[in-house]
Amino acid sequence: MPGAISENLAVLIVVALLSTAYIMPLLTKIRKFHVAEFFAVFMLALALSGGVYLAREILHNGAFTYAVGGWPAPWGIELSLDAISGLFLITVGLVATPILLYASVDLVKDVGSRSRAAWFLTLFLLLVAALCGLGITGDLFNIYVMVEVATIASCAIVAARNDAVAVEATFKYLMLATIGSGFVLLGIGFLFVLTGNLNMAFIAQELSASWQNYPTALWVCLSFFLVGFGVKSALFPLHVWLPDAHSSAIAPSSAMLSSLAIKGYIIALLKVFYVAVGADIITRLPITNILTVLGMLAIIAGALFALAQDELKRRLAFSTVSQVGYIFLGIGLGNIQGLTGTFMHILSHAATKSLLFLAAGAIIKQTGKSRISEMAGVGFEMPVTLGVFAVGSLSMIGIPLFSGFVSKWQLLLGSLARGNYLAVIVLVGGSLLAAAYLLPVLRKAFFERPTQSAAVTEVAYVQLVAMLFLAVVIIMIGTFPGVVLQLAEQAAATLLGLEVLL
């Protein structure tokens, strides 16, 4: 790769995605709209490869910072490219590409018209770009901007399906998310007031020097951040918008939101807590315990709510709540294994949940049945779809050889390292509950006689390819976690300020 590109690759990824996003509406008029879609997919794939390249760089040459426009911090905008951003770039690319590929098949039919489809693509790419930005950014200003872009974009793609429930859900989502971003903004303001900086590295220096002087203020701003990002990333008591939004959107949107959008805010939260404020301060404050407790609550409660659902997508949405609990639990543990588990789970849950949502969308589209109780015998008609759904379920339950197990394993180790046996019980019980709410679907689909056999066929090959790709990703991560695990551990190490273990 030529030097000019490789140096500026980080910012190039975001810029390229943004520009593609803005091109999209112009492509409405071309005869074959699929060209546009495949162009978008292609750009995503490029972003993915760029992310992989960056990750390799980071793994080998260590983290580095990039001053946008050559202006150094604190005046310029600084991108800090470390293992976190590498991992998250890979995650986004790896998951977003198949999702868009899947969406591209009958996007126009889903969202109504060509122009709407084009705008959908725009929003989608905007979302992806914002997430990448969240991954690589190094200062709070950027974080705020990217968070806002992501929020608006995700709201909009929920509303892409043009019906009452979707719009109502979107409005609620928008309202709550805006309140959340208001809190985030307040938090940023507090930090700024306290330290006079928006660059996280500088803030960290300032705080580590003088945080004992104003613990209360720091605490309040941390609570602002927690609540703000908690709302956006559906931490348990604040998840209330999620089920509606994620279950009423079209399949690709739900997949995108559930798997990636949420994770973006979590990454932001991680950066604020562990980079800006600093690991030693955070771990000394009770906020981590609160995160642990909330995480455990989320795991159990989310699973129980999921059990109660009969609508497949809604059940999956609640399962997202439960899985986010795992991630927050890892954050709360605040030790190397726990954070590694968090990162691994960000990746594996992204892949798994998007796969599940896509499969669910395929089932619903082909059979017209959205309730689990109606899905008897679907497995015989759509073996591939239900097969990948099975893969996703097993990974979600945390069976070895599937990606879910790797993260759960790390989380278990982390909670044991913390001596937190309750967390161990909750983690194990959570996976049992996951089995309880996912396996019945498979049982219905594969082992019960269909009530009336309507002639149902598999979805288009492209969609099958997309889903199979995700399934392969899951299994590969589960079988050979090596490199990814290394990256995750490095990311955790960066957060904790340990010297990178290679």
Partner 1 sequence: MGELWSRILQNYPYVFALALFAIGIYTILTHSNLFKKVIGINIMEGSTYILFIAAGNIRGGVAPILDMGDPELVYVHPLPQALMLTGIVVSVSVTALSLALIMKLYRFYGTVDAKEIMKIRSEVRANAGRNQ
Partner 2 sequence: MYWSLILILIPFLGALALTRFRDLRGQSVVGIGVGAITLLASIMNFLALRGGEVLNWQLGSFGIFEPCFRLDGLTALFSLFTAFVWLASGIYMYTYMQHEERTLSFYVFYLITLGAVQGVFLAGNFLTLLVFFEIMTVTSFFWVIHRQDRESLRAGYFYLFLGIAAGLCLAGAIALLVASGTTIEIGMGAIMPTNKAMLGWAVFLLILGFGIKAGMVPVHIWLPMAHPVAPTPGSALLSGILIKAGAYGLIRTGQLVNWGLADLVPWLGTFVVIVGVATMLLGVGLALLQSNAKRLLAYHSVSQMGYIILGIGTALVLKGQGGYGISGAIFHALNHALFKSALFLGVGIIFLGTGELNLYKLGGLWRRYPWTALCMLIAAFGITGTPGLNGFISKSLLHHGVFEVALSGNPVMVWAERFFNVVGVGTVASFVKLMGLTFLGKPKTTVPKGTGEDPFLATAMGLLAIVMLIIGIQPQLLMDLFIKPAAISTGLVDLSHLGHVDFFAASAIWDMIITLVIGAAFFGFGMKTNLFHYTPPQWLSVEAAGRQIVRAYAWLDGGVSKIYQAVSLRIVFNARRQYKRMMTLNRKLDFEGGGIFTVLNFSNLNSNAFLILTVLAALVLYYFGSYMLGA
Partner 3 sequence: MSTVLVLIAIFSTTFGAIWIAVTPNEAKTERNSVALGALLGSAAIVWWLLSLGLHSGVYPAFNIGVASLSLSFSLDPLGLTYGVLASTLWVFASVYSFGYMDQDRKQRQYFSFFLLSAGITLGIAFAGNLFTFYLFYELLTFATYPLVVHAGNKEALEAGTKYIKYSLTGASFILAGIVMLWRVTGGVLDFGSLPAALGSASPSQLVVLLFLFLIGFGVKAAVMPFHGWLPSAMVAPTPVSALLHAVAVVNAGVFGVLRTIYSVFGTEVIQSMNVRPILLVICSITILMGSFIALKQDVLKRRLAYSTISQLAYILLGAFMLHPLALAGAILHMIFHSTLKIVLFFSAGIVAEETGYLKVSQLKGVGRILPLTLGSFGIISLGMIGMLPLSGFWSKYYLMRGSLATDSWILLVVLLFSGFLNALYFIPITISAFAGKSELKPRQKTSVLWLMLVPTLALAGIGLVFGLWPGLTLPLVDAVVAQFFTL
Question: What does the binding site for partner 3 look like in residue numbers (CB under 8 A)?
Answer: 394, 397, 399-401, 406, 409, 412-413, 416-417, 424-425, 428-429, 431-432, 435, 439, 443, 446-449, 479-482, 485-486
The partner in contact with residue 237, picked from partner 1, partner 2, partner 3, none with C-beta cut-offs of 5 to 8 angstroms by kind, is partner 2
Is residue 175 part of the contact set for partner 1 (CB under 8 A)? yes
Q: Give Rg (Cα) of the chain.
A: 21
* Binds partner 2 by CB under 8 A, chosen from 77, 238, 260, 378: 238
User: And the tokens for 225?
Assistant: 């951040």
If the CB atoms of residues 307 and 435 are measured against partner 3, the closer one turns out to be: 435
Which DSSP string corresponds to 210-274?
HGGG-HHHHHHHHHHHHHHHHHHTT-GGGGGGHHHHHHHS-HHHHHHIIIIIHHHHHHHHHIIII
Q: Please name the residue that has the structure tokens 């989380």.
A: 411
CB of 450 to partner 1, least distance (A): 19
The partner in contact with residue 80, picked from partner 3, partner 2, partner 1, none with C-beta cut-offs of 5 to 8 angstroms by kind, is none
Q: Please name the residue that has the structure tokens 């495949």.
A: 38
Q: Is the CB of residue 127 less than 8 Å from the CB of residue 154? A: yes
Is residue 167 part of the contact set for partner 1 (CB under 8 A)? yes
User: And the tokens for 425?
Assistant: 């019980």
Interface characters, 372-391, with partner 1 (x: CB under 8 A): -x------------------
Give the number of other Cβ atoms within 10 Å of residue 22's Cβ: 11
Which DSSP string corresponds to 301-357?
HHHHHHHH--BHHHHHHHHHHHHHHHHHHHHHH-SHHHHHHHHHHHHHHHHHHHHHH
Gap between the terminal Cα atoms of the chain: 25
Is residue 168 part of the contact set for partner 1 (CB under 8 A)? yes
Q: To the nearest 10°, the Cα dihedral for 38, 468, 245, 15?
A: -40
The partner in contact with residue 206, picked from partner 1, partner 3, partner 2, none with C-beta cut-offs of 5 to 8 angstroms by kind, is none
The candidate with the shortest Cα–Cα distance to 330, out of 221, 184, 492, 480, is 492
Q: Is the CB of residue 177 less than 8 Å from the CB of residue 153? A: no
The partner in contact with residue 141, picked from partner 2, partner 1, partner 3, none with C-beta cut-offs of 5 to 8 angstroms by kind, is partner 1
The candidate with the shortest Cα–Cα distance to 396, out of 444, 442, 338, 363, is 442
CA distance 158 to 150: 12
If the CB atoms of residues 98 and 481 are measured against partner 3, the closer one turns out to be: 481
User: And the tokens for 173?
Assistant: 């989502």
Helix (H) or strand (E) holding 81: strand 78-81
Is residue 409 part of the contact set for partner 2 (CB under 8 A)? no
> 371 — phi, psi (to 5°)?
-100, 145
The candidate with the shortest Cα–Cα distance to 184, out of 214, 223, 240, 158, is 223
- Cis, bond preceding 74 (omega within 30 deg of 0): yes
Give the number of other Cβ atoms within 10 Å of residue 71's Cβ: 11
Give SS3 for 80.
strand
The partner in contact with residue 185, picked from partner 2, partner 1, partner 3, none with C-beta cut-offs of 5 to 8 angstroms by kind, is partner 1
* Binds partner 2 by CB under 8 A, chosen from 118, 176, 350, 376: 176
Q: Which of residues 109-168 bind partner 2 (CB under 8 A)?
A: none
CB of 267 to partner 2, least distance (A): 21
* Binds partner 1 by CB under 8 A, chosen from 193, 209, 465, 501: 193
Q: Which of residues 278-317 bind partner 1 (CB under 8 A)?
A: 310
Give SS3 for 197.
coil
The partner in contact with residue 156, picked from partner 2, partner 1, partner 3, none with C-beta cut-offs of 5 to 8 angstroms by kind, is partner 1
If the CB atoms of residues 17 and 375 are measured against partner 3, the closer one turns out to be: 375
If the CB atoms of residues 220 and 435 are measured against partner 2, the closer one turns out to be: 220
If the CB atoms of residues 156 and 306 are measured against partner 2, the closer one turns out to be: 306
* Binds partner 1 by CB under 8 A, chosen from 38, 39, 53, 141: 141
Q: Please name the residue that has the structure tokens 């709550």.
A: 176
Is residue 180 part of the contact set for partner 2 (CB under 8 A)? yes
Is residue 171 part of the contact set for partner 1 (CB under 8 A)? yes
The candidate with the shortest Cα–Cα distance to 322, out of 398, 385, 227, is 398
- Bridge partners of 65, per DSSP, are 80
If the CB atoms of residues 57 and 148 are measured against partner 1, the closer one turns out to be: 148
Binding region for partner 1 (CB under 8 A) out of 126-134, 151-159, 225-233, 481-489: 151-159
The partner in contact with residue 290, picked from partner 2, partner 1, partner 3, none with C-beta cut-offs of 5 to 8 angstroms by kind, is partner 2
* Binds partner 2 by CB under 8 A, chosen from 33, 66, 88, 183: 183
Burial of 447 (0-12, 13-18, 19+ CB in 10 A): exposed
If the CB atoms of residues 307 and 475 are measured against partner 2, the closer one turns out to be: 307
Binding region for partner 1 (CB under 8 A) out of 84-92, 97-105, 137-145, 342-350: 137-145
Is residue 237 part of the contact set for partner 1 (CB under 8 A)? no
If the CB atoms of residues 87 and 140 are measured against partner 1, the closer one turns out to be: 140
Is residue 125 part of the contact set for partner 1 (CB under 8 A)? no
Q: Which residues bind partner 1 (CB under 8 A)?
A: 74, 141, 144-145, 148, 152, 155-156, 159, 162-165, 167-168, 170-171, 174-175, 178-179, 181-182, 185-186, 188-189, 192-193, 196, 198, 310, 371, 373
